[in-house]
Amino acid sequence: MKNKLVTFYSIFVGVSVISMWVFILCSQSIPEGKIELSFHLFSEFLMAIMCIISGFLLIKRNKLGKLLNSIALGMVLYSVLNAAGYYGQKCELPMFIMFLLLFIATSFALTIALISYTKNE
């Protein structure tokens, strides 16, 4: 049951990140420079795609899914902690709190995943 939660959490995060960036890029001006934005988007989309692919690999019980999912969730941890700092600096409290909650949720998901992955090997 816990593994299914981690699996679906990973897929949900991946789809949410892609959806969020599509919405932002279509509706807002971005304060970052083009080079900075390009690198930022590359890392965000890479993270999202890894979350989605690893989630589907876990559904298919592919062993590569465990490794990719651990890496993907680690990328999510970094991303949401970085975003919390960004919005905290801008004094945008709702976004700051949302990213801190995502950091906590992802920390739990990664911990559950790593414990269950090591027990099953």
Question: Cα Rg for the chain, rounded, in angstroms?
Answer: 15
Taking the C-alpha atoms of residue 14 and residue 87, their distance in angstroms, rounded to an integer, is 21
Task: List the domain range (segments joined by +) for residue 50.
Answer: 2-119
Q: In sequence order, what are the residues at sequence separation of 6 or more whose Cβ sits closer than 8 angstroms to the Cβ of residue 96?
A: 84, 87, 88
Token digits of residue 120: 């099953």
Q: What is the pLDDT of residues 16-70, one digit of tens each?
A: 999 999 998 888 777 777 888 889 999 999 999 999 999 999 999 998 999 999 9
Total domains present in the chain: 1
Residue-wise pLDDT for 96-119, tens only, equals 999 999 999 999 999 998 898 787
